Structure 1
Amino acid sequence: MSKFIRISLEKRGVSCVAELLEKEAPRTCAAVWEALGEGPLGGPAQHAKYARNEVYSIVRRFGPKIGHENTTVTPIPGDVCYFDFSGGVLDASFKEDQGIDQAEGGIDLAIFYGRNNLLINGDVGWVPGNVYATIIEGLPGMAEACHDVWRSGSVGEKLVYSRLEAVSPSSDAG
């Protein structure tokens, strides 16, 4: 039986539903699902500078080290990705701003809402992401809200991931 998560931009009041890709990314899906069993994951929403159409949040470390699984550097609209940034990877001022422990690092949970994305980071180069879910419902509304994060800013916005126990996909999956 498929598993689903809800992804929300709280301040903007917009959510979408994503289906976990358990066959393609079993370790990542298991770690995320288990972590969400303890409650929602999320934090300050950020819009990517380099990747293009990405909104993400850095969350506390959870689960075992997963490594690469079902990776991409060119995510498509609706991809939901997991990135593991160890302590020395990201810029110190960014980690401080995000409340990330300098030594421990954090997990980046990201959604991609438009085309032509390229996962490159000015600090470290190519950054493959584990694609562990795909948005099946609410992508158009979420894309509009994500674009607003880019245009209007992310101050006060929170990106939150939570478990959904059941879902029946609607016709707005596009």
Structure 2
Amino acid sequence: MRQPTFLRIGLKKRGAFVKLRLRWDKSPLTCAAVVRRLPVASQVWHAKWANCEIYTLVPVLDETFSPEWTSAYPAPGDLMYLPIGQTNIKPLGAPELPTQNGLIDFAYFYDRGSNLLNGPTGAHTGNIIATASDPLAVEEFAETCADVWFAGAVGEQLVLDVTD
């Protein structure tokens, strides 16, 4: 399988995207699993507990989670792969998703002060799979991410795809 260097994450309706570097050097198994699934386009939500995070949920297909480059304190521009077990803890209004194998939370952190310690099930870690390639672009995209919090996420999709 080809190992692409970059992916882009964006908010489709708002027409805003940012380019991230896939971290094959730190999370090779997770990067491979994610790249096999791309493209992804699904309803976006803004985090309640993790602060400056937008995310989407997708069902686990055949992926097996292996801790690699784990963190509970993501930095601005980090994209994380967070496994969620068979649970009913989903955002209000979430579509019915097959959860028999669990869910994957693709979580993008757009500003400082985020952590994964205070959720309803306690501390949660996941693998960082991509990081900012341009800090100024992350800051610009952060304004659009914050708009999901202030203006709402209805009808907005989080998009992940390979890019040059």
Give the TM-score of the pair, scaled to structure 2.
Answer: 0.89
CA–CA distance in structure 2, aligned partners of residues 160 and 62 of structure 1: 18
The answer to whether the Cα contact below 8 Å between 2:72 and 2:115 also exists between their aligned partners in 1 is yes
Question: 1:21 maps to which residue?
Answer: 23
Query: What residue identity is the alignment partner of 2:53?
Result: E
Gaps of 5+ in 1: 167-174
8 A contact 1:4–1:19 mirrored in 2: yes
- Structure 1 stretches (4+) deviating beyond 3 angstroms? 93-96
Distance 1:6 1:69, change over 3 A: same
How many percent identity over aligned positions?
36
Residues of 2 paired with 1:68 and 1:52: CA distance?
Answer: 23
Query: Is contact 2:61-2:101 (8 Å) kept?
Result: no
1:83-98 equivalences in 2 (<5 Å) = 83-88=82-87, 90-91=88-89, 94=91, 97-98=94-95
What's the C-alpha RMSD, in Å, of the aligned pairs?
1.9
Q: Say if 1:96 and 1:102, in contact at 8 Å, map to a contact too.
A: no
- What is aligned with 1:109? 106
Shift of 1:121: 4.7
- The range that moved more, 64-73 or 125-134, is 64-73
Report the counterpart of residue 31 of structure 1 in structure 2: 33
Contact 1:47 1:150 in 2 (8 A): yes
Question: CA separation in 1, counterparts of 2:158 and 2:63?
Answer: 23
| 1:73 positional shift | 0.5
Residues 2-39 of structure 1: CA deviation (Å, up to 9, x unaligned): 61111110111100111101011111111111222xxx
Q: Determine if contact 1:35/1:63 at 8 Å carries over to the other structure.
A: no
Number of matched pairs: 160
Q: Match for residue 170 of structure 1?
A: none
For residues 111-158 of structure 1, what are the alpha-carbon distances to aligned partners after superposition, in whole Å with 9 as ceiling and x for unaligned?
A: 100001110353310010210101214312210000001111111110
Q: Aligned partner of 2:131: which letter?
A: T
1:24-78 Cα distance to aligned partner (Å, 9 max, x none): 1111111111222xxx113111000000000000013244212221011010101
Letter in 2 for 1:6: R
What is the identity, as a one-letter code, of the residue corresponding to 1:51? A
Unaligned runs of 5+ in 2: none
Q: Which amino acid aligns with 2:47?
A: A
The residue that corresponds to 2:148 in the other structure is 149
